[in-house]
Amino acid sequence: MTAAPATRHFLRDDDITPAEQREILDLAERLKTDRFQVRPLEGPQTVAVIFDKSSTRTRVSFAVGIADLGGQPLIISTASSQLGGKETPSDTARVLERMVSAIVWRTYGQAGLEEMAAGTTVPVINALSDDFHPCQLLADLLTIREHKGSLEGLTVAFIGDGADNMVHSYLLAGATAGMHVRVGCPAEYSPKDAVIADADRIAAETGGSITIFTDPLETVAGADVVVTDTWVSMGKEEEKAARVATLARYRVDDEMMSLAKPDAIFLHCLPADRGYEVTAEVIDGPQSVIWDESENRLHAQKALLVWLLERSTGGSGAGS
Ligand code: CP
Ligand code: NVA
């Protein structure tokens, strides 16, 4: 007897192979043309969506996406649950898997997500942690592909806080897509060495590359895609003054954009602090594709859910 394949989770961008990433993006593209064509959660089955941190896009796109797939979202705020207080991630997962088909969790440490995934038979999805934001990257890649036709060989320049969850996800997901990922950041806010090493290894297989710069203008030169994110991620509010002082020369403005390719596009996962990491002229200007990017959260996450549910071994919620 062959053992059933293990349930797949999506905790980091490199939890999927290059072929699997393409498969999910292709499905997202199809679901964007006809939102209600697949209904794997018909029943309705429930998906738990848990938030330790604030959210607009993630909350709405998962809630709407789960409903589009025939299911019902159960949005849980950690502050009003036992998780994070009296109960461990693995005990929480054991309870939820008897009633839900998947668990989506926005949290702080990556370790909690790993513990939750190790303890359950239903897919666990990282809806943002301190280290990664892989659902956002599926939406970003979908957006870039829509505007540029393909991903492989494109140069993406991320400017700003290099220790940010978005940067780590760009390194892994961009490398997986065969892109040339450049990060322009101050030495104090550099990506984690372990993530750079993982991204380098993936890039060596896909034909992509990873380069870390301290000069933002050098980073952006000739880029196809320019990306930034807030300088003050959730949980880092007390560091705001120091961050703003150190990151001041990493603001994306018209002058910086003029060094990228003339047809370069600008992305930002939002929420944005206009006047800090990006000027209003750029984020609200003709090269910005932020509203497509934010809509694509819906289509990308639906594709991810469909793909993971097909690979789930269970939880009674999945079959009932
Ligand atoms: N981009 C993103 O994840 O937005 P929210 O924090 O509003 O979910
Ligand atoms: N880096 C930001 C992303 C917000 C969607 C944060 O973690 O707050």
Q: Ligand 1 center to residue 316 CA distance, Å?
A: 30
Burial of residue 214 (number of CB atoms within 10 Å: 0-12, 13-18, 19+):
middle
Give me the residues of the chain with pLDDT under 70, please. 1-4, 315-320
Nearest-angstrom CA–CA distance, 278 and 262:
18
Question: Residue for token digits 């992509």?
Answer: 208
Measure 233 CA to ligand 2 centroid, in angstroms. Answer: 5
Q: Of these residues, 8, 12, 133, 145, which one is catalytic?
A: 133
Give the pLDDT score at 2.
63
Domains and CATH numbers, the chain: 18-132+297-312 (3.40.50.1370), 136-294 (3.40.50.1370)
- Identify the pLDDT of residue 119: 84
How many helices and strands in the chain, by DSSP H and E?
13, 9
Which H or E element spans position 281?
A: helix 280-283
- How far is 243 from 162, CA to CA, in rounded Å? 12
Distance of CA 86 to the CA centre of its chain: 29
With a 6 Å cutoff on the Cβ, whether 269 touches ligand 2 is yes
Ligand 2 atom nearest residue 55's Cα:
5
Whole-Å CA distances, 282 to 193, 219, 253, 272, 309: 31, 17, 6, 12, 39
Does the annotation mark 136 as catalytic? yes
Closest ligand, as measured to the CA of 126: 1
Ligand 1 site, residue 128, Cβ cutoff 6 A: yes
Residue 1 has a pLDDT of 58
Closest ligand to 131 CA? Answer: 2
Question: Is 297 labeled as catalytic in the residue annotation?
Answer: yes
pTM of the model: 0.97
Ligand 1 contact via 301 beta carbon (within 6 Å): no
Q: What local confidence, expressed as pLDDT, does residue 314 receive?
A: 75
Cβ of 58 closer than 6 Å to ligand 1, yes or no, is yes
